[in-house]
Amino acid sequence: MKAEDIRDWEDTEIEARLGELKEEQFRLRFRNATMELENPRILGDIKRDIARLKTIIRERELAGNE
C-alpha cells in the first residue's frame, strides 16, 4: 500500500480500511502470542499501513484548517 494511492481514496474508504487493519492486527497479535503465526513480519507491515492511513487522515485535517 503506497501513500500516493491512498491519497486518491475517499475519507470513508480510508476509515473503513483503517478499521479492517486494526481488527486484523488484533487477530494477528493474538495468533503471535499463541505461537501460531507463521510470518511475524506481517505485524510490522500492518502497523506501517495503519501509520500511513493515520498520517494521510491527519494531513487532510490540517489542510482543512487552513
Enter the C-alpha cell of residue 23. 481488527
- The pLDDT value given to residue 26: 96
Q: Which domains does the chain have, with CATH numbers?
A: 3-65 (1.10.287.310)
The per-residue pLDDT for range 12-57, each reduced to its tens digit, is 999 999 999 999 999 999 999 998 888 989 999 999 999 999 999 9
User: Using 50, 70 and 90 to split pLDDT, how confident is the model at 66?
Assistant: low
Half-sphere exposure of 44 (CA within 13 A, CB side): 3
Q: Which residues lie below 8 Å from residue 53, measured CB to CB, with a gap of 6+? A: 6, 14, 17, 18, 21
